Structure 1
Amino acid sequence: MTLYSSGLCPYAQRVRIVLEEKAMEHQVIEVDLANKPEDLEDLNPYGQVPTLVDRELVIYESSIINEYLDERFPHPPLMPVDPVSRAKARLLILRIDRDWFMPLFSTPQPSEKIKQLVRDGLTAISPLFNSQRFLMGDEFSLVDCAVAPLLWRLPHLGIELPASAKPILNYMERVFARDSFQRSLTMAERDLRG
């Protein structure tokens, strides 16, 4: 299994977290996005990372890759078993992507307005963590894998959460302390936090 990744790509980090959570043997090919290798362009019509190659199968888009990995390697499970909870998890990932990832990571420098919207959104969900350990309850899931790269990058983006967001700050500490999260970090990502 081979993952085409980039050291600072939050979408690629999502996949690296899942690969580490599943303890999957894999090879990471580090891609310089300014000078992409020809084989990446041949594998993925968008020439983007993350791109996963598993034997003859090529998959791109972090959420599609992560669901594939969870189904192909079911232990530990990262998606709920029942269809209603699975749909809720997918909707949460979609909202994380549309409301936070796309505005923050689609431009080199997000505006203060976008940063404030993300800060307010994270602060609004903070009370959720008073009653549960992770976004979908007490089990770590693909939803946590989806949001963790953004949370890691908050200081680098200049987004500081208020003291009232203490429950989400505690959640971040729990996620960042996970072995899978720590192993997913590239040197460039470690440098984001000093």
Structure 2
Amino acid sequence: MIKLHGFALSNYYNKVKLLLLEHDIPFEEVTTKLPLDEALLAQSPGGKVPFIETEQGFLCESEVIVEYLAARFPDKRIFVADPWQAAKERELITFIETHLELNARELYGEAFFGGKASDEVKAAMEKRLRRYVASFKRLAKFAPYVAGEQFGVVDAAAFVSLPLVGRATQAVYGSDFLADAGIDWKTYIKLIGERATAQRVNADRKAYIEASA
């Protein structure tokens, strides 16, 4: 059985967890907090979560894990069967995680943890994020799911990361960059939140926060 290491506050941990639940892939959760100790750094060299443990060894980086799951369980159709459409799914995930969430992460200290981002960082991130939000808007369909009419792998990434982008920009700039671009992410998140798997992820996240308080 796959062991998923990490904790329920991590958006990338929750992305992998949501996909495992959606595709009914058996797994065991192993609560693993940061910073990782030296022994765990041998399993996740970058010091990040999630990482998984399989009978063959350990694997880190959430999107690498998703690709592994897709290859190991081809019958689950984690990505759509058509090669072009599967590539378009990967394209959307790249925009969500690399161009939106990773840049917005520079703001999290101020947005969520009482820190303060420098004026230089805020100016650079505003320019970059507004550019990539506009780019994402051109790619995404929200019909009603990000890639089209069916829930898919892109939605696992979007569900856990888009709220962070919207809330971080609102907190730091007083303006939700996603909403400014006409992306109604709150309605979308509500839609995904109706799924039993998403409710499980949200409930576990809430329980983790309450236990850590």
TM-score of the superposition, structure 1-length normalised?
Answer: 0.78
Decide which of 179, 182, 193 is 2:199's aligned counterpart.
182
C-alpha displacement of 1:23: 2.2
Q: What does the per-residue CA deviation read over 1:96-139, in whole Å, with 9 as the maximum and x for residues that have no partner?
A: 2221111122563365553683698179729833xx22122111
Q: What corresponds to 1:62 in structure 2?
A: 62
Seen in structure 2, the aligned counterparts of structure 1 residues 124 and 53 have a Cα distance that, compared at 3 Å, is closer
Is the Cα–Cα contact under 8 Å of residues 100 and 118 in structure 1 kept in the other structure? no
C-alpha displacement of 1:188: 6.3
Decide which of 158, 168, 185 is 1:157's aligned counterpart.
168
Q: Name the SS for the 2:193 alignment partner.
A: helix
C-alpha displacement of 1:5: 0.9
Q: What corresponds to 2:49 in structure 1?
A: 49
Mapped partners of 1:62, 1:168: distance in 2 = 22
1:1-194 to 2 correspondence within 5 Å? 1-34=2-35, 36-74=36-74, 76-106=76-106, 108-109=109-110, 112-113=122-123, 114=125, 117=129, 121=133, 125=137, 128-129=141-142, 132-154=143-165, 156-157=167-168, 159=170, 160=176, 162=179, 165=182, 167-185=184-202, 186-187=205-206
Q: Which has the higher contact order (CA 8 A, sep 6+)?
A: 1
Seen in structure 2, the aligned counterparts of structure 1 residues 165 and 177 have a Cα distance that, compared at 3 Å, is farther
Seen in structure 2, the aligned counterparts of structure 1 residues 56 and 162 have a Cα distance that, compared at 3 Å, is closer
Mapped partners of 1:189, 1:154: distance in 2 = 22
Mapped partners of 2:89, 2:78: distance in 1 = 10
Rg larger for: 2
Q: Name the SS for the 1:165 alignment partner.
A: coil
Between 157-166 and 132-141, report the one with greater CA deviation. Answer: 157-166
- Aligned Cα root-mean-square deviation (Å): 3.1
Between 39-48 and 173-182, report the one with greater CA deviation. Answer: 39-48
Q: What does the per-residue CA deviation read over 1:15-64, in whole Å, with 9 as the maximum and x for residues that have no partner?
A: 11111112222221222213x24442221222321101121232211111
Is the Cα–Cα contact under 8 Å of residues 97 and 161 in structure 2 kept in the other structure? no
Mapped partners of 1:25, 1:176: distance in 2 = 22
C-alpha displacement of 1:78: 2.7
Structure 1 stretches lacking a partner, 5+ long: none
Seen in structure 2, the aligned counterparts of structure 1 residues 120 and 81 have a Cα distance that, compared at 3 Å, is closer
Mapped partners of 2:183, 2:97: distance in 1 = 23
Between 100-109 and 18-27, report the one with greater CA deviation. Answer: 100-109
Mapped partners of 2:106, 2:207: distance in 1 = 19
Identity across aligned pairs (percent)? Answer: 24
Between 23-32 and 112-121, report the one with greater CA deviation. Answer: 112-121
Mapped partners of 2:135, 2:186: distance in 1 = 10
Mapped partners of 2:181, 2:154: distance in 1 = 23
